[in-house]
Structure 1
Amino acid sequence: MWGNSSSLNCTLSSPALLGEICKLVLMVLLIVAIVLGNVVSLLVFLQARQFRTSQGYLKASLALADLAVGLIVVPYSLYREASSLASGLGQGSNTATPSLPCFITGPLFAGCTFVSITTIFLLSVERSVAVLKPLHKKAVITKRRTAWLILLSWSMSFSLAVVPMLSSPDITLQYSPCSKMCIYTFPAARLPHSPWNIMLLFAAFDFSLLGGTFAINFITFATIRQYCKARRQLGSEAPHGSRLSFSDITAAKTISILTFAFSASFSPIAVFVVGSVLGYQWCRFSFYAFWILTSNSCWNVAIYSAWDPKFRRGVRELFSRPVLNSTSQRPSRSTEGDNSAPACVAVLKEMFRPENA
């Protein structure tokens, strides 16, 4: 403690300070991008009736998981790093001690990650049914079934996120000055024997779902390729028994891009988890691994905007809604009840309402 002032001056004059400030700026930009992007996505999916479909509800679930990362997980890391920098503490002085917020943000980040990959898997299944069995899509994929699958994915994902702490009392959550995140850790005083291997469950779960998602997407695109080939041979007339639309094909492409983006962002963190179980300590690599995965929370809206024309049209309608409302005619009596209720309540009622045959 005697050398606090001199070490502070040394730290302020060192290039390490610039690196810490750049990381803080990165966190601020990520918070803005994640929150704004996913709020726009939720408003588009929930306000526009054309998106009140099974696919739209799944994308809204994905946006909600990403929004939770931008509202809770990243701001806590920003608070810890800003407090550390304001106090004049270097990276080595930022001790990793258990704290109550870590027991919230740590499982929340893990649970939201599991929700993301589970939702992408469900989106791939939904598109596969729409492409392989277009005439049976409405009977197989209903809004009510989709709502129950969303609830199941959230409950399963967050249950899985707390499995390491429940499986062993030695595994806890601490804020890591290396990764700038709350991570699962094993006390240094004890050797990580078999209980630490439970962390491999995270990588096994995600890679199993990713493998299944890639297989489903491969089958879907093989069917789309055959459909396009048959359509070229028959001219503009669609093959018998198939009613694939341009929006169905575009949605399949969008979901495949989401799958590749998540796979690219998750692979470094999977390598880090496996390395940690084997006893390796990768301080600098852990920062890049965790924050590459975190940045994935703001990619979805960019992917939708680039590949989905319906989403772009929904965004334009969302921001031009006040102008449209002022010039539109008064709503009919049948729709006044829906407009008076909050949009989220109306969506929930629509999701769980039994659908007529």
Structure 2
Amino acid sequence: MLGNGSGQSSNCTDRGQALAGEVCKLLLMVFLIITITLGNLVSLLVFLCSQQFRTSQAYLKASLALADLAVGLIVVPYSVYREVSRLAYGMGQDTGPADRLACLITGPIFAGCTFVSISTICLLSVERSVAVLKPLHRKTVITKRRTVWLILASWAVSFCLAVIPMLSSPDITFQYNSCSKLCNYAFPPHQLPGSHWNVMLLYPVFDFFVLGVTFVINAVTFATLHQYCKMRKQLGEESQSGNRLSFSDITAAKTIGILTAAFSVSFFPVAVFVVGSVVGYQWCQFSFYAFWILTSNSCWNVAIYSIWDPKFRQGLWQLFHKPVQTPVSWHPSRSLEGHTSAPACVVVLKEMFRPESI
């Protein structure tokens, strides 16, 4: 009798610890929803509503914030819903057409936004490299219109990549995984991955290729900045006559380098997990940490901007400390300094596609 009582007590303790662990994971998801949503909304407002951020670089950063915001508003809330349903009603796997449809929506969104993030960081590195290497020609090389088309192309290519596995094999689909707490690529039950599962290797190959190119570009940029700073220190103000690099240009390059390093660190565990899954390993606990480290990267960007970019901090301060409009500005017959009452989003869209003078 004592042995049975001790065994039951041990089982209850194990169940209690397991439940506590699941609740902690659920609280982490809720915390990520709040931080990702608020952080990226603030970033979008700063980049799109501040006049000093109406630049090509700001449009790229806004695209990055929009991809992260989609993760916080769509992907993570669905995971919270599934985990609450599982803890409350014992619903673990996809139980109906609605759940499968939801995974077919949230799964590609998560994969596509991940590709958008890495491609946008690469475009940011290219933009900074041109600004550092060719500061006198950057306005003619990097225009807002070209930047917008590159952003649209990166989104289109990224979401095409996200659905390639499903199009290449009818056996591959999206299914909610109780280990990773996300909708991941999966095979039907009781079916082991076949040779066509190797299409999943396209993702780590693509991501590591883009990251490699980004690191090379950043290395060239930082080498040039090092030489520039060294020359400016030796010659003083005279060194600035032939080069128009400002402190904000140097700071922006450093910020993008930090963004690249942060994304690389967060993506590496997922790449290891994907390769292991193709080989045949089943890493349940590791899959949770790998995917949610990558998901948490969506709330790092605003912190990186706030710490390393004084221009962003200035835009953030201006966003929440705008002066109150004087009554004279309400008269439609008066036009002060060319100001209009058009919404900020309309102004931004007009500036995106407005022909730029060279």
**What is the aligned partner in structure 1 of residue 335 from structure 2?**
332
Work out whether 1:129 is the aligned partner of 2:130.
yes
1:234 Cα deviation after fit: 0.7
What amino acid maps onto 1:61 in structure 2? S
- Once superposed, what is the RMSD of the aligned Cα atoms? 1.9
Work out whether 1:42 is the aligned partner of 2:44.
yes
Cα distance in 1 between the residues matched to 2:35 and 2:164? 31
Q: How does 1:14-93 map to 2 (within 5 A)?
A: 14-87=16-89, 89=90
Deviations 1:216-235 (A, max 9, x none): 00000000001011111112
Cα distance in 1 between the residues matched to 2:301 and 2:225? 23
Give the paired residue count.
Answer: 342
Work out whether 1:276 is the aligned partner of 2:277.
yes
CA gap 1:48/1:84 in 2 versus in 1, 3 angstroms: same
Deviations 1:27-74 (A, max 9, x none): 111000000000000000000010010000000000000000000000
1:352 Cα deviation after fit: 1.0
What secondary structure does 1:235 align onto? helix
**What is the aligned partner in structure 1 of residue 4 from structure 2?**
none
Deviations 1:115-137 (A, max 9, x none): 00000000000000000000001
1:148 Cα deviation after fit: 0.4
**What is the aligned partner in structure 1 of residue 212 from structure 2?**
211
What amino acid maps onto 1:73 in structure 2? V
Cα distance in 1 between the residues matched to 2:41 and 2:241? 41
Task: Verify the 8 A CA contact 1:175 1:181 in the aligned structure 2.
Answer: yes
What secondary structure does 2:191 align onto? coil
Q: Which runs of 5+ in 2 are unaligned?
A: 1-7
1:140 Cα deviation after fit: 0.2
Deviations 1:287-335 (A, max 9, x none): 00000000000000000000000100111111112xx134697383563
Task: Verify the 8 A CA contact 2:94 2:100 in the aligned structure 1.
Answer: no
Cα distance in 2 between the residues matched to 1:109 and 1:99? 15
Cα distance in 2 between the residues matched to 1:19 and 1:101? 26
Work out whether 1:139 is the aligned partner of 2:140.
yes
**What is the aligned partner in structure 1 of residue 3 from structure 2?**
none
**What is the aligned partner in structure 2 of residue 342 from structure 1?**
343
Task: Verify the 8 A CA contact 1:27 1:74 in the aligned structure 2.
Answer: yes
Work out whether 1:113 is the aligned partner of 2:111.
no
Cα distance in 2 between the residues matched to 1:40 and 1:176? 32
1:12 Cα deviation after fit: 9.6
What amino acid maps onto 2:324 in structure 1? N
Cα distance in 2 between the residues matched to 1:46 and 1:33? 20
Cα distance in 2 between the residues matched to 1:69 and 1:267? 19
1:13 Cα deviation after fit: 5.5
What secondary structure does 2:355 align onto? coil
What amino acid maps onto 1:256 in structure 2? G
Q: Which runs of 5+ in 1 are unaligned?
A: 1-5
**What is the aligned partner in structure 1 of residue 230 from structure 2?**
229
What secondary structure does 1:173 align onto? strand
What amino acid maps onto 2:128 in structure 1? R
1:243 Cα deviation after fit: 1.3
